[in-house]
């Protein structure tokens, strides 16, 4: 089969890597990809958001199945365009993608269908938003309504910080149209975790659990990023917590979508806060997480293409999990997330290829002559397997010692939050 992966990052490299292992794949294409993906797939020089051009390519090339990585093409309606032409594509349509495309839509949906989340208000007027923040105080969370590449949610420890964030979002239009409307919500105490399922109408199947590390610096300090590392599984989601997630969140989402007349087929990611009262939704994403996809896909034993095809066609599928742990550390550019430096030569990747149980997924990389160079904020995902989380962490950080590029930054504490739950 001819398969197309859409997207440029570490998540898409992991998807391509996993799909490539399927004997069903005769040719693998990527639009547009990165230097790591181009080693295993044919580059299609079309932007992931150029929906019409991608549909034209898929039609002309006879692509049998397409997997969408990032949120932007989904929100732009890539699934609607492909399906209109009879092309098979895995991902939710434009209407369903509003769950990520609009924070206000998602919050209203959760409120309507009793899905546990933080108390919130939506604003389009800066002065009104400012007044609300002054009334309720801090800590408080300010979110851009639209897509902001994982950087549109700011935890504000003070009222001053909240007002400054509102000013940047609403008056300076930091994320353009995406931040003209904001959602202000209560700060939730607890521990974050990620829960991802595949949905097809009434059916759903859960993927392995994971935990992301959103803040730039060790100890969850610094600005929010797209994610600085992740590991799978997470002991934060106990069997009891998972039961609640399924019953109070996933199944209520499916029921709500049905009542709204919205058909959903694709991945659904629930970014959760595990609070004393139970799991609450921080956000929904309509695709695999990044960097959660990397350790999750490393742990899934299934033939990914066969599983996606079967699920797409409405068959029951079972996800088989590798019992080993997987941990992913993101290597980022200096200046990330605001103004990442680019064009720095990456050294040491050949050495890492020789290491057992280590996989490097490229994110913001390109090729200049024979050299890999940085081309984005998050550059590489250094991932490792281990029989324990401690072993996976040691292998990943040991591999990082071989890699360097000017201004390289990474967190040293990925996975540490889990150790209080574990004996290893």
CATH number of the domain to which 85 belongs: 3.40.50.20
Type and span of the H or E element at 331 = strand 325-332
pTM higher than 0.75 for the full model? yes
Total Cβ atoms within 10 A of residue 34: 27
Looking at the structure, tell me whether residues 176 and 224 fall in a common domain.
Answer: no
Q: What is the β-pairing status of strands 365-368 and 221-224?
A: unpaired
Q: How many folded domains does the chain comprise?
A: 4
Q: Is position 107 within any domain?
A: no
Q: Are residues 297 and 342 in the same domain?
A: no
* Same-domain pairing of 205 and 305: yes
Domain boundary among 312, 334, 351: 312
Phi and psi dihedrals of 242, rounded to 5? -65, -40
> Helix H segments across 113-201?
126-136, 159-166
Q: Say if CB 235 and CB 421 are below 8 A apart.
A: yes
Q: What is the pLDDT of residue 326?
A: 98
- Output the six-digit token pair for 66: 């397409």
Q: 3-state SS of the chain: helix, strand, coil percent to 5? A: 35, 30, 40
Give a yes or no: residue 306 inside a domain: yes
**Residues of the chain with confidence (pLDDT) below 70:** 424
The predicted structure's pLDDT at residue 424: 64
Element (H, E) at 18: helix 10-20
Q: Is 161 exposed, middle or buried (0-12, 13-18, 19+ CB in 10 A)?
A: middle
User: Based on the domain organization, do 231 and 164 belong to the same domain?
Assistant: no
375 and 269 part of one domain: no
Look at residue 264 in the predicted model and tell me its pLDDT: 98
The answer to whether residues 87 and 134 belong to one domain is: no
CATH code of the domain in which 147 resides? 3.30.1490.20
- Domain for residue 85, yes or no? yes
Verify that 230 and 155 share a domain, yes or no.
no
**Of 38, 69, 91, which marks where a domain is finished?**
91
Residue 83: inside a domain: yes
Per the structure, the complete domain to which residue 329 belongs is given by 325-421
In a domain, 186, yes or no: no
- Please give the pLDDT value at position 313: 97
């Amino acid at each position: 089969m001819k398969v197309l992966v859409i997207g440029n990052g570490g998540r898409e490299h992991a998807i391509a890597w996993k799909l490539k292992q399927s004997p069903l794949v005769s040719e693998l294409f990527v639009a547009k990809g990165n230097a790591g993906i181009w080693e295993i797939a044919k580059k299609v020089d079309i932007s992931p958001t150029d929906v019409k051009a991608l549909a034209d390519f898929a039609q002309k090339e006879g692509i049998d199945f397409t997997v969408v990585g990032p949120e932007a093409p989904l929100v732009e309606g890539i699934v609607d365009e492909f399906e209109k032409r009879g092309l098979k594509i895995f991902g939710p349509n434009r209407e369903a993608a509003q769950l990520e495309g609009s924070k206000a839509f998602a919050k209203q949906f959760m409120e309507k269908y009793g899905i546990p989340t933080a108390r919130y208000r939506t604003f389009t007027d800066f002065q009104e938003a400012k007044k609300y923040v002054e009334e309720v105080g801090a800590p408080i969370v300010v979110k851009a309504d639209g897509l902001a590449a994982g950087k549109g949610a700011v935890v504000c420890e003070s009222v001053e910080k909240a007002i400054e964030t509102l000013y940047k979002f609403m008056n300076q239009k930091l994320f353009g149209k995406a931040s003209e409307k904001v959602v202000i919500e209560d700060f939730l105490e607890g521990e974050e975790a990620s829960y991802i399922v595949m949905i097809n109408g009434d059916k759903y199947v859960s993927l392995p659990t994971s935990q992301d590390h959103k803040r730039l610096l060790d100890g969850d300090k610094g600005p929010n990023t797209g994610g600085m590392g992740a590991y799978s599984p997470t002991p934060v989601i106990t069997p009891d917590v998972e039961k609640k997630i399924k019953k109070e969140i996933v199944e209520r989402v499916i029921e709500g979508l049905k009542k709204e007349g919205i058909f959903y087929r694709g991945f659904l990611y629930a970014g959760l806060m595990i609070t004393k009262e139970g799991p609450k939704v921080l956000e929904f994403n309509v695709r695999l997480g990044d960097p959660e996809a990397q350790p999750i896909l490393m742990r899934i034993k299934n033939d990914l293409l066969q599983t996606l095809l079967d699920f797409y066609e409405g068959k029951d599928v079972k996800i088989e999990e590798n019992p080993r742990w997987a941990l992913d550390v993101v290597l980022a550019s200096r200046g990330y997330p605001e103004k990442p430096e680019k064009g720095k030569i990456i050294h040491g990747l050949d050495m890492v290829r020789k290491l057992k149980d280590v996989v490097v997924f490229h994110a913001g990389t390109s090729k200049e002559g024979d050299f890999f160079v940085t081309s984005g904020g998050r550059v590489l995902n250094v991932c490792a397997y281990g029989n324990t989380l401690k072993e996976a962490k040691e292998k990943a950080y040991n591999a990082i010692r071989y890699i360097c590029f000017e201004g390289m930054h990474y967190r040293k504490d990925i996975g540490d939050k889990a150790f209080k739950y574990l004996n290893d």
